[in-house]
Amino acid sequence: MNRKLDEKLIELAFGDLPEEEATRVVGEASQDPEAARALQDYRDMRDGLRKLSDIPPHQLSNERLRAAILNRGAAKPARPAGISWLWMPAAAAVLTLGTLMIRQMQTPTVEPSVAIKESTNPLQIPDLDVPVAGGTTFDGATMATKAPAPDITESAPRVADAPTTSSANRIASAARRSPRRSIETRPKAAPKVDDTPISADMVALASNVGNRIADGSGARNEAAPAPMTMAGATAMRAPAPTPKTPIIIIEAETDALTGAQRATEVDNASNVLVGG
Amino acid sequence: MALDGILTMRGSMVERMDTDSDVALVRRAREGDYAAFEMLFERYRTLVYRFAYQMVPRRDDAEDLVQEAFVRAYQNLDRYRDEAKFTTWLLRIVTNLCTDQARMSTRRQALEQQEAAGALDWMTIGDIENPIENLEADRRREVLRKALAALPVHHRSVIVLRDLEEREYGEIASILGCTVGGAKLRVLRARRALRDRVAPFLGEESR
């Protein structure tokens, strides 16, 4: 008996053949004793399997299942996949916030004040080597007649604001653009040169402006060195820094190695005058 | 047919959800409603037990198998896909457990096969002058049961699913993870293997 016929006999015995094909296979098996015997064996096996229904009752209980689940440590059902991803954006937000806070704590709270080279006499208007028309030099006692006043960049000393590296760089780079100047802080528009000699009132006014800035009153750049409109040697006291205000002094001389102007940091501005 | 259900509107379609359907119970179980999972357990434990008992014809073993299947189902509820029937998924878990058991206890299986073979010895060693006594229905059934137990797991599972539990070929294919044609072929081969074991003894009775 071939394998294909054997498969048909199995399907016939278990009722898996269509009626027409079943009739054909029955006829074929009746003519082959071996096929007939196989068909009978399969039918007996089918009947015997159907009688295998005497299964003893089970003793499965809810309590037993619950205990098994708890013992396995599967106290909670598995959460849908979507919820398990929520921790990622939350972790990212916490990480970002922490990074920002750390960066804020590391950077100083105030921009360094840019000042001219330290002088022993705080009242003495410093000697600025500012080129002026006619070859005269600015001796500090008078204001430069034609020399443009120092520029105030957007990072003008604002005591209340935290200085940033970029602002310090702007100050330094501004200083480099004008190698003869120690200060490079003023609005972009070049102020008109005023050749009025410095008076005590002007000094007081400049001090008040500086103090306003130091108070953190939120004075904007426009309020800061208004003395810049009076070009040159306005003796303005540097804004009284907070106890921990770092002050960077950019010197007029350049470094022999790098070509950049030297800068030094001082703890307080008691002996520092700011002018231009 | 009135159903205890909730009417929900989705666009122009009206969808009716039976709160006690398998899908609804699984959804509630996923959200932490253990009582919903218990309902599923009570609903299908007998069906799963019947299948398990046919696979491991000892009551204690069958109960352990059922319990393990439901524990794993609970642990992996998120893997259940609504497209398949819950019973299909459960029976697949039981089948896989039986396969794992069989792999771990090949020696035990060999012993079972020896036992099954030995259980058939009375057919030839017994009193041949009274062959009719040897053909009692309960002994015949016992022979068949032993032969079924001695089959390899992959043959035994399809015989149980198709010929004892009378599952459709489509469902068997889903449980086994194969095509319908593949399921039919597996059933065919399993029946042939079972017949090869019992035919020498059952055939003697009819000749």
Among A14-28, A99-113, B140-154, name the one with the lowest average pLDDT.
Answer: A99-113
Whole-number percent of chain B with pLDDT over 90: 53
User: In chain B, which among 155-184 make CB contacts under 8 A with chain A?
Assistant: 159, 162-164, 184
CA distance B82 to chain A (A): 13
CA distance B188 to chain A (A): 7
DSSP string, A66-81: HHHHHHHT--SPPPPT
Do B71 and A65 make contact, defined as CB atoms within 8 angstroms? yes
Nearest to A74 among B32, B74, B199 (CB): B74
Query: Phi-psi bin for A240: left (phi > 0), alpha (psi -120 to 50), beta?
Result: beta
Give the pLDDT band (50/70/90) at residue B69.
very high
pLDDT at B136: 65
Write the DSSP symbol of residue B167: -
How much is the ipTM here? 0.71
B137-150 helix and B106-119 helix, angle to the nearest 10 degrees: 160
Q: Which residues on chain A are in Cβ contact (under 8 Å) with B162?
A: 14
Give residue-wise pLDDT tens across range A235-273. Answer: 445 455 555 577 888 888 777 777 788 788 887 767 666
Q: What is the mean pLDDT of residues A67-79?
A: 71
Is A76 an 8 Å CB contact of chain B? yes
Give the Cα separation of B14 and B8 in Å (integer): 6
Q: Which residue in chain B is spatially nearest to A61 when comparing CA positions?
A: B42
Give the pLDDT band (50/70/90) at residue A130.
very low
Do A48 and B163 make contact, defined as CB atoms within 8 angstroms? no
Is B45 an 8 Å CB contact of chain A? yes
Give the pLDDT band (50/70/90) at residue A79.
low
Q: How many C-beta neighbours within 10 Å does residue A266 have?
A: 18
- Provide the β-strand partners of residue A266: A247
Do A64 and B67 make contact, defined as CB atoms within 8 angstroms? yes
Is A70 an 8 Å CB contact of chain B? no
At A246 the three-state DSSP class reads coil
Give residue-wise pLDDT tens across range A146-187. Answer: 444 444 444 444 444 444 444 444 444 444 554 444 444 444
Higher pLDDT: B184 or A206? It is B184
At B77 the three-state DSSP class reads helix
**Phi/psi of residue B194, nearest 5 degrees:** -70, -40
* Most confident of the ranges A129-138, A191-200, A258-267, B34-43: B34-43
Give residue-wise pLDDT tens across range B165-181. Answer: 999 999 999 999 999 99
Nearest to A78 among B30, B141, B199 (CB): B30
pLDDT at A86: 73
The dihedral through the CA atoms of A176, A177, A180, A184 has a sign that is: negative
pLDDT for A3 beyond 50: yes
Predicted TM-score (pTM) of this structure: 0.51
pLDDT at A162: 45
pLDDT for B163 beyond 90: yes
Is B47 an 8 Å CB contact of chain A? no
